[in-house]
Amino acid sequence: MTTTAAARPGPGRAMIAVTDTIDVASRNLRSMLRMPQALVFALIQPVLFVLLFRYAFGGAIHVPGVPYVDYLIPGIFGQAVAFGALGTAVGLATDLRSGLLERFRTLPMSRSAVLAGRTLADLARSLAVVAVMAGIGFAVGFRVHTSALAFLAGLGLVALFGYALSWGCVSLGLRISDPEAAQAAGVPLMFLLVFASGAFVPIATMPGWLQAVAAHQPLTALVTAVRALVLGGPTAGHVLASVIWSCALLAGFSLLAVGQYQRISR
Amino acid sequence: MDGNRHPAIMLRDLRKSYRQVVALDGLSLAVPPGSITGLLGPNGSGKTTTVSILSTALRPDSGQALVAGLDVTIHPAEVRRLIGFAGQFAAVDPNLTGRENLRLIGRLSRLPRPLARDRADEALERFGLAGAAGRLVRGYSGGMRRRLDVAAALIHRPAVLFLDEPTTGLDPESRTQLWRLVAELAADGTTVLLTTQYLEEADALADRVVIIDRGQVAGEGRPHELRKRIGSAVVALEFADEHAAARAQRRLGAQFPAARRDGPIVRLASEAGSSAVVGAARALTGADDPVAVRIREPSLDDVFLALTSSAARASQPGDAA
């Protein structure tokens, strides 16, 4: 049996995983920047939501004690990263179909880097979208009632949640393996997640059965925590709930996705 | 490389099924180092499955696949350092430039950054893409993409290169260009295993041809040896109806034992088309005249049918094996 090749010295596995992840992530970011239309479309939807909810629906929605725009913008952040996560499904399905994932499997590269590089690049894109949303939010009257630090902590929660959802979309993209179909399958899921939540309207206005669902889902936990951070009031419990939700989703989705990725070669 | 003692590629009783479909049914094969071997077979014969397993993209159900003496399922990481793989679809990122694609694959093939940069430039030069190096690949033609794809598979100078239907969908000029590049690689000592559906391609490129059918080797040898087995010409005699054709086949049987009948057409394989026509004319004197006679080069179908029908005869029921 040949064992000499196995003992070949070289950079450790961890180091290879890090450099490969950076290389794959920068490839994905570069690839995204080469499709500026896609980036523009990724921004149009959340911008429309800000404008529609601020000016069209906002007048009809009454939230006790807070100007609606201050209530709205944390919900917009959640909505932006939820729909942004679909980019992961589309990107992976595209790479699966083009044969690029197959090529990656034949290279002496870190296997985890393929998925990590994809989700990290998508996280960077989501954060850019959230930054634009924050800018537009401030332009239409959104104000932080607490501190810049609390606002940044809120954005941190948004990023963690978006990253967790992105891993869920890895699973979706690998399963459906057709970019258009993956998008079509993901959009209704995200609509449910975003609208059956406290992202845009107070849960108390919903019928009882829907309240039960909306009150116990991760996007509601996220926007509740972000609102607590930017509007004031008790925060610790809400923040903890959102962190627990996001970490649990991240753990579950990433295990699922890694398992699926390994099964491709069976 | 000390791997030269081993066959570059060795397959032993390789099996792979996808749910109910058997893709590989006990495939065995040995490929000497530095050769170009063509895996020839129709769609669904198991060609792609074979190269996917060898390139570690797919796991076999059973059997052994060795590259330079290393088992691909036990030492996949080491095998990946030795091989290059270009799949059926040009697996390059359309939103990167040609140069960026090569640098990325170079980096992921464990080349240090400066070396990946130099190799990318060399490969672009060698594959005639230097002028398009800075352009996005989505603007490339099919032939350019394919060349880039093969260049990417070679960026770390692998000892063994797998090409899955490298010229499918290419125009004749791009095809000849790619053939020339592959021949150059083999001249430099790279072992090449390529799959193809075209006899012409196997003829032009391969030192050895392995014909596979339903996941098994149906025949192998040098291209001219294979041709010899079926002759260098095929004569097709078309008769008025099946009965006339069947009668003719019986009369031709003594001189052409391998004559095959397909409906009203009887096909004879022969060393020389003209002597086959004359021979057939003599044998058929006083019987039905054919309504049409055609002479042509043996096609993959002819080689294939000749080899698979003899394989089928060898495994008739009652055969103890």
pLDDT per residue as tens digits for the range A65-82: 899 999 999 999 999 999
- Under a CB-based contact definition with an 8 Å cutoff, are residues A93 and A182 in contact? yes
Question: Reduced to 3 states, what is the DSSP secondary structure of residue A20?
Answer: helix
- Under a CB-based contact definition with an 8 Å cutoff, are residues B38 and B209 in contact? yes
Q: Do residue B219 and residue B249 come from a single domain?
A: no
**Partners of B265 in the beta sheet?**
B238, B262
Chain B positions touching A2 (Cβ under 8 A) are: 69-70, 75
Distance to chain B for A93, nearest Cα, Å: 13
Question: What does the alpha-carbon distance between residue B55 and residue A107 come to, in Å, rounded to a whole number?
Answer: 9
Q: Do residue B223 and residue B85 come from a single domain?
A: yes
Q: Do residue B162 and residue B242 come from a single domain?
A: no
pLDDT for the residue A145: 94
- Three-state SS for B96-154 is CEHHHHHHHHHHHCCCCHHHHHHHHHHHHHHCCCHHHCCCEHHHCCHHHHHHHHHHHHC
Residue-by-residue DSSP string for A101-117: HHHHHTSSS-SHHHHHH
Distance to chain A for B85, nearest Cα, Å: 7
Q: Do residue B204 and residue B78 come from a single domain?
A: yes
Q: What interface predicted TM-score (ipTM) does this complex get?
A: 0.87
- CA B3 to chain centroid, in Å, comes to 24
Q: Are the Cβ atoms of A34 and B136 closer than 8 angstroms? A: yes
Chain B positions touching A24 (Cβ under 8 A) are: 108
pLDDT tens track of chain B, all 321 residues? 444 467 899 999 999 998 889 999 999 999 999 999 999 888 888 999 999 999 998 999 999 999 999 999 999 999 999 999 998 888 999 999 999 999 999 999 999 999 999 999 999 998 999 999 999 999 999 889 999 999 999 999 999 999 999 888 788 888 888 899 889 888 989 999 999 888 788 888 899 999 998 899 988 888 777 776 767 778 888 988 898 888 888 888 878 877 888 889 888 877 776 777 788 887 888 778 888 888 877 766 677 777 765 444 444 443 333
Q: Are the Cβ atoms of A265 and B57 closer than 8 angstroms? A: yes
Q: Do residue B183 and residue B249 come from a single domain?
A: no
Domain count, chain B: 2
Q: Does A38 touch chain B (CB under 8 A)?
A: no
Task: Specify if B16 maps to a domain.
Answer: yes
Tell whether the torsion through CA atoms of B194, B200, B203 and B204 is positive or negative. negative
DSSP state of A11: S
Tally Cβ neighbours within 10 Å of residue A52.
Answer: 12
Q: Are the Cβ atoms of B108 and A24 closer than 8 angstroms? A: yes
How many Cα atoms occupy the beta-carbon half-sphere of A67 within 13 Å? 13
**Partners of A97 in the beta sheet?**
none
pLDDT for the residue A266: 63
Query: In terms of Cα–Cα distance, which of A263, A73, A64, A66 is closest to A177?
Result: A263
Question: What does the alpha-carbon distance between residue A124 and residue A143 come to, in Å, rounded to a whole number?
Answer: 24
Could you tell me which residue, A264 or A55, shows the higher pLDDT? A55
Q: Do residue B212 and residue B263 come from a single domain?
A: no
Q: Do residue B113 and residue B177 come from a single domain?
A: yes
Structure tokens at B253: 């049987």
What's the angle, vertex CA B47, arms to CA B45 and CA B51, rounded to 5? 155
Chain B positions touching A6 (Cβ under 8 A) are: 75, 78
Residue A23's pLDDT band, with cuts at 50, 70 and 90, is very high
Last residue of a domain, one of B174, B204, B227: B227
Question: What does the alpha-carbon distance between residue B286 and residue A90 come to, in Å, rounded to a whole number?
Answer: 71
Q: Does A109 touch chain B (CB under 8 A)?
A: yes
Task: Specify if B306 maps to a domain.
Answer: no
Q: Do residue B211 and residue B289 come from a single domain?
A: no
- Under a CB-based contact definition with an 8 Å cutoff, are residues B18 and A266 in contact? no
Question: Reduced to 3 states, what is the DSSP secondary structure of residue B38?
Answer: strand
Q: Which residue of B has its CA nearest to A102?
A: B57
Containing structural domain, residue B250: 232-297
- Closest CB to B81 among A2, A20, A108: A108
Q: Determine what percent of chain A is predicted with pLDDT higher than 70.
A: 95
Question: What does the alpha-carbon distance between residue B122 and residue B157 come to, in Å, rounded to a whole number?
Answer: 12
Q: Do residue B8 and residue B143 come from a single domain?
A: yes
Task: Specify if B67 maps to a domain.
Answer: yes
Q: Does A106 touch chain B (CB under 8 A)?
A: yes
Task: Specify if B125 maps to a domain.
Answer: yes
Structure tokens at A140: 């239409």
The region of weakest confidence among A133-137, A185-189, A214-218, B295-299 is: B295-299
- Under a CB-based contact definition with an 8 Å cutoff, are residues A230 and A206 in contact? no
Q: Do residue B246 and residue B210 come from a single domain?
A: no
- Rounded to whole angstroms, what are the CA distances from B38 to B208, B220, B221? 6, 10, 10
Please identify among residues 13-32 of chain A the ones whose CB lies closer than 8 Å to any CB of chain B. Answer: 16, 19-20, 23-24, 27, 30-32
The CATH code of the domain that includes B260 is 3.30.70
DSSP state of B81: H
Q: Do residue B163 and residue B285 come from a single domain?
A: no
Q: Are the Cβ atoms of A2 and B57 closer than 8 angstroms? A: no
Q: Which of A23, A106, A262, A265 to mutate to test the interface with B (most CBs of B within 10 A)?
A: A106
Question: What does the alpha-carbon distance between residue B248 and residue B239 come to, in Å, rounded to a whole number?
Answer: 9
- Closest CB to A103 among B59, B91, B100: B91
Q: Do residue B222 and residue B254 come from a single domain?
A: no
Chain A positions touching B69 (Cβ under 8 A) are: 2
Task: Specify if B26 maps to a domain.
Answer: yes
- Closest CB to A106 among B57, B70, B136: B57
- Under a CB-based contact definition with an 8 Å cutoff, are residues A121 and A88 in contact? no
Structure tokens at A192: 């449910």
Cβ–Cβ pairs < 8 A, chains A and B:
82
Q: Which of A13, A15, A27, A107 to mutate to test the interface with B (most CBs of B within 10 A)?
A: A107
Question: Reduced to 3 states, what is the DSSP secondary structure of residue A199?
Answer: coil
Q: Which residue of A has its CA nearest to B135?
A: A34
Chain B positions touching A15 (Cβ under 8 A) are: none
Mean predicted confidence (pLDDT) in A1-26: 74
Structure tokens at A256: 């699922």
Q: Does A10 touch chain B (CB under 8 A)?
A: yes
pLDDT for the residue B42: 80
Q: Are the Cβ atoms of B78 and A5 closer than 8 angstroms? A: yes
Between strands B208-213 and B216-221, the pairing is antiparallel
What phi and psi, each to the nearest 5 degrees, are found at residue B26? 85, 55
Distance to chain B for A32, nearest Cα, Å: 8
The CATH code of the domain that includes B104 is 3.40.50.300
Task: Specify if B117 maps to a domain.
Answer: yes
- Domain extents for chain A? 12-263
Tally Cβ neighbours within 10 Å of residue A173.
Answer: 31
